[in-house]
Amino acid sequence: MLGLKLPTDPRWANVAEKNIKEILIDHAYCEQKAASTAISLIVSFPEYTELVQAMNDLVQEEMSHFKMVHDKIIERGYTMGRDRKDYYVVELLKFFPKGGSRIDQMVHRLLYAALIEARSCERFKLLSEELQEPELKKFYKKLMISEANHYTMFLNFARKYGNTDEVNKKWNALLDYEAKIMLSFSEGESIHG
């Protein structure tokens, strides 16, 4: 369903479980960044009413997810600490050219948001299946469903506002590019890396 060209090695979940503090903290920041992306789309493209409405709902949902993850961090006696660079996103953004029309720029932003949500969904699915702790398994299963909905929403908006054939070609090229990024990462203690 997600179309990812390189699935995550299931052993990543074992690495994640051994470093659950780092995973939870990284996850909390991912939820913040997802809300920021939605706000940025509202600010940049206010004339697209349907997109603005959907992003408004998404901001609220992502911030509620942030609170849920932050509560788990607090329950375990952890603190978030400073934000870190998400090298996955940094590398992903290199795929898109600078400039172009406003529509092109919007479609690019929608596509990278779709891919980030797809990879998050895939990782959450692994966590929901492989973690030993029942509460966290259930937690990640619930979030996996949300991420799948976000992925399809972003991709559908890209196809709605852009030329569908061109969007599909760019999406497939982006999936190939993302697979190469994933190959370059070691099994890290982050949601995407």
Q: Tell me which residue of 13, 130, 133, 143 sits closest to 75, measured CA to CA.
A: 133
> pLDDT at residue 1 above 90?
no
Give the model confidence (pLDDT) of 148-174 as tens digits.
899 999 999 999 999 999 999 999 999
Least confident span in 44-58, 59-73, 136-150, 163-177: 136-150
Give the model confidence (pLDDT) of 22-52 as tens digits.
999 999 999 999 999 999 999 999 999 999 9
How far is C-alpha 61 from the chain's CA centre?
13
- The CATH class of 10-184 is mainly alpha
How many CB atoms lie under 10 A from the CB of residue 22?
18
DSSP the chain: ----SSPPPTHHHHHHHHTHHHHHHHHHHHHHHHHHHHHHHHHH-TT-HHHHHHHHHHHHHHHHHHHHHHHHHHHTT----S----HHHHHHHTTSPS---HHHHHHHHHHHHHHHHHHHHHHHHHHHHH-S-HHHHHHHHHHHHHHHHHHHHHHHHHHHHS-HHHHHHHHHHHHHHHHHHHHHS-S-SSS--
**Alpha carbons 88 and 37: distance in angstroms, whole number:** 15
pTM of the model as a whole: 0.93
Would you tell me the crossing angle of helices 49-75 and 134-161 to the nearest 10 degrees?
160
Determine the average pLDDT of the residues in 134-160: 94
| Integer-rounded Cα radius of gyration of the chain | 16
Q: Note the pLDDT of residue 160.
A: 98
Contact 90, 66 (CB under 8 A): no
**Alpha carbons 139 and 160: distance in angstroms, whole number:** 32
